[in-house]
C-alpha cells in the first residue's frame, strides 16, 4: 500500500494528539538526546524504523532490516552547564562547563534469511556537574558528581517476511560508576569516593511491523536494572570509611513509534513511557570503624512520558535534511531536587541534521539543544517528609546542553542508496 502525504500527516497528527493529551513527565538519568546522528536529526525518533546496529539501544527488532553485515560507529559530544544550589554556601550557582563524550559502536550479521545477530557498546544514561565556589573561610570548594551507566548488549532478531514482522531481543550488561568529590583547598575533603558495580540480569525486547517500505510501526521494552555499586574505601560525610556501597536503579521504559514516507518527505513520532517511580530512594552505606552510617538519598520520582517528533526531506537521491523536537517533561520531585542532573521541570530538545546515503555506506551529522528550568522555594523543601542529605537547596534550577553528533555506517548487504 502507498502512504499518501495526506494519510501521513493524519497518522502523525493522530499520534501527536494522543501523546499531548497525556501527562508529559520525563527526565531522570536517561539523557533524551543520544544516538545516533541519523536519528537525532529527527528528534531522536527511531523505534518504528531503526535499521542498523543502534537498534540494540532503540529497538532490537530493527536488526532484522540489515543486509548481510552492518557496522556502525557514532560519536556524540555533549557540552553544557547546569544551574543549581548544591550547598547552603552555594545558592543559585552555575556549574563549570561540562564536556561529555558519548559513543556507540556496534555490528550485526545476518546468519540466515530470517535470523540476525548483533552486539553494541554505549553509555545509556548519565548525570553530573562540577561547581566551584568560596566557602565562609574564603577557600575555594570543588563540588563534583559524575554518574554514568554503560551497556554492553548482544542481541538477536527474527524476521518473519510473510508477516512483515521482526522480533528482537537484547541482553544487557550494565556497568555503573559514581564519582563524588567535595572539598576545599588545603583541607580534608567532605566527600571523596568512587563506587563501581555491574548488573548482568536485564534485557530489551521489541518488534517492528513494516507492511510496506513507506510505513513502519515499532514497540520496544527496556527492563529495569538495579546495579549494586561499592568501594573498598574513601571519604564520606567528613569521615574516612573502609567500605562503601549503594545501588542505582535504571527504570523500565516502554516505547512506541511510527514512521511514514511519501515521495521526498518522511515523518516519525515516538512516545516513551518510563517507570521512573521505581526510583524512590537509595541508601548509601559507609563503614566508619567501629560503626556503620547509612544516610538515605531520596528521589521520589514520578513516572514519565517523553515525546519525539521528526521530519525528513530528501531533495535528491541519497541526500536527506532533518528537523526534530522532543519534550522531556518533569519527573524529579520539587522537594528533593539535585544540582547535578535534570531539574524538576520539563525540558525541550530542538534538533537538526543531514545525511548522505551512498548505498553500502552512510554518513550523518546532527545538532541538538536541550533547555528547561524552574525555581524551588524554601517552603517546598520544608514540606518534605523525608531527610535527604544529598539533595539541593532552594533556588533556581536549569539546564542548557548542546549536542554534536556524527555517525558512519556500512551495510555490506546493500548497494543502493535510499530513495
Q: What is the pLDDT, as a whole number, of residue 116?
A: 97
Q: What is the pLDDT, as a whole number, of residue 414?
A: 56
- Please check whether residue 236 lies inside any domain of the structure: yes
Distance in angstroms (rounded) separating the CA atoms of residues 218 and 212: 14
What does DSSP say about strands 140-160 and 165-184: parallel, antiparallel, or unpaired? antiparallel
Q: What is the pLDDT, as a whole number, of residue 325?
A: 97
- Please check whether residue 67 lies inside any domain of the structure: yes
- Please check whether residue 416 lies inside any domain of the structure: no
b/e sequence 16-41, b meaning 16+ C-beta within 10 Å:
eeebeeeebbbbbbbbbbbbbbbbbb
Task: Give the up-direction half-sphere exposure of residue 211: CA atoms within 13 A in the CB hemisphere.
Answer: 7
Q: Are 180 and 191 in contact (CB under 8 A)?
A: yes
- Taking the alpha carbons of 209, 268, 151, 126 in that order, is the dihedral positive or negative? negative
Q: What is the pLDDT, as a whole number, of residue 397?
A: 94
- Please check whether residue 332 lies inside any domain of the structure: no
Q: What is the pLDDT, as a whole number, of residue 28?
A: 74
pTM of the entire structure?
0.88
Domain that holds residue 198: 5-304+353-411
| Counts for the chain of helices (H) and strands (E), in that order | 4, 23
Q: What is the pLDDT, as a whole number, of residue 229?
A: 95
- Please check whether residue 205 lies inside any domain of the structure: yes
Q: What is the pLDDT, as a whole number, of residue 90?
A: 87
CATH of the domain at 159: 2.40.160.60
The three grid cell numbers given for residue 273, joined into one nine-digit string: 513511557
- Please check whether residue 280 lies inside any domain of the structure: yes
Q: Which residues of 161-213 form beta strands (DSSP E)?
A: 165-184, 191-212
Q: Are 19 and 31 in contact (CB under 8 A)?
A: no
8-state DSSP, 8: H
Domain tally, the chain:
1
Q: What is the pLDDT, as a whole number, of residue 240?
A: 85
b/e sequence 169-194, b meaning 16+ C-beta within 10 Å:
bbbbbbbbbbbbbbbbeeeebbbbbe
The three grid cell numbers given for residue 110, joined into one nine-digit string: 545476518
8-state DSSP, 416: S
Per residue of the chain (419 residues), what is the pLDDT tens digit? 444 544 444 444 434 433 333 333 345 788 889 899 999 999 999 999 999 999 999 999 999 999 899 999 999 999 999 999 998 888 899 999 999 899 999 999 999 999 999 999 999 988 889 999 987 777 899 999 999 999 999 999 999 988 899 999 999 999 999 999 998 888 889 889 999 999 999 999 999 999 988 999 999 999 999 999 999 888 877 788 888 999 999 999 999 999 999 999 999 999 999 999 998 888 888 888 778 878 788 889 999 899 999 999 999 999 999 999 999 988 899 999 988 888 999 999 999 999 999 989 999 999 999 999 999 999 999 988 888 877 889 999 999 999 999 999 999 875 344 44
Q: Which residues pair with 131 in a beta bridge?
A: 143
Q: What is the pLDDT, as a whole number, of residue 149?
A: 94
Amino acid at each position: 500500500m502507498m502512504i499518501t502525504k495526506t494519510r501521513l500527516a493524519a497518522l502523525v497528527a493522530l499520534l501527536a494528539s494522543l501523546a499531548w493529551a497525556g501527562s508529559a513527565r520525563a527526565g531522570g538519568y536517561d539523557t533524551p538526546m543520544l544516538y545516533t546522528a541519523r536519528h537525532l536529526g529527527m528528534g531522536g525518533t527511531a523505534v518504528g524504523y531503526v535499521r542498523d546496529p543502534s537498534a540494540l539501544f532503540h529497538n532490537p527488532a530493527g536488526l532484522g532490516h540489515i543486509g548481510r553485515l552492518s557496522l556502525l560507529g557514532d560519536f556524540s559530544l555533549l557540552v553544557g552547564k547546569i544551574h543549581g544550589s548544591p550547598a547552603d554556601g552555594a545558592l543559585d550557582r552555575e556549574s563549570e562547563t561540562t564536556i561529555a563524550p558519548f559513543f556507540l559502536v556496534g555490528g550485526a550479521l545476518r546468519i540466515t534469511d530470517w535470523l540476525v545477530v548483533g552486539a553494541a557498546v554505549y553509555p545509556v544514561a548519565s548525570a553530573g556537574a562540577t561547581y566551584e565556589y568560596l566557602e565562609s573561610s574564603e577557600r575555594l570548594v570543588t563540588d563534583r558528581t559524575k554518574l554514568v551507566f554503560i551497556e554492553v548488549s548482544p542481541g538477536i532478531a527474527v524476521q518473519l517476511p510473510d508477516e512483515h514482522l521482526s522480533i528482537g531481543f537484547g541482553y544487557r550488561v550494565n556497568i555503573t560508576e559514581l564519582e563524588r568529590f567535595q572539598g576545599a583547598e588545603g583541607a580534608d575533603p567532605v566527600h571523596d569516593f568512587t563506587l563501581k558495580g555491574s548488573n548482568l540480569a536485564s534485557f530489551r525486547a521489541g518488534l517492528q511491523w513494516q507492511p510496506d517500505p513507506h510505513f513502519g510501526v515499532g514497540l520496544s521494552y527496556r527492563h529495569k536494572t538495579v546495579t549494586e555499586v561499592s568501594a573498598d574505601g574513601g571519604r564520606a560525610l567528613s569521615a574516612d570509611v573502609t567500605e562503601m556501597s549503594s545501588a542505582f536503579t535504571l527504570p523500565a521504559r516502554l516505547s512506541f513509534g511510527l514512521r511514514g514516507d511519501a515521495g521526498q518527505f518522511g515523518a516519525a513520532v515516538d512516545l516513551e513511557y518510563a517507570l521512573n517511580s521505581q526510583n524512590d530512594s537509595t541508601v548509601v552505606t559507609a563503614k566508619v570503624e567501629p560503626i556503620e552510617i547509612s544516610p538515605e538519598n531520596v528521589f521520589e520520582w514520578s513516572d514519565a512520558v517523553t515525546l519525539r517528533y521528526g521530519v525528513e526531506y530528501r531533495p535528491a537521491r541519497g541526500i536527506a535534511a532533518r528537523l526534530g523536537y522532543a519534550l522531556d517533561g518533569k519527573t524529579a520531585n520539587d522537594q528533593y531536587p539535585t544540582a547535578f542532573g535534570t531539574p524538576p521541570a520539563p525540558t525541550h530538545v530542538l534538533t537538526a541534521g543531514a545525511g548522505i546515503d551512498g548505498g553500502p555506506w552512510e554518513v550523518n551529522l546532527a545538532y541538538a539543544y536541550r533547555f528547561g528550568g524552574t525555581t524551588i522555594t524554601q517552603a517546598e523543601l520544608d514540606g518534605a517528609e523525608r531527610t535527604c542529605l544529598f539533595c539541593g537547596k532552594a533556588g533556581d534550577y536549569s539546564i542548557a546542553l548542546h549536542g554534536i553528533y556524527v555517525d558512519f555506517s556500512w551495510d555490506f548487504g546493500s548497494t543502493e542508496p535510499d530513495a
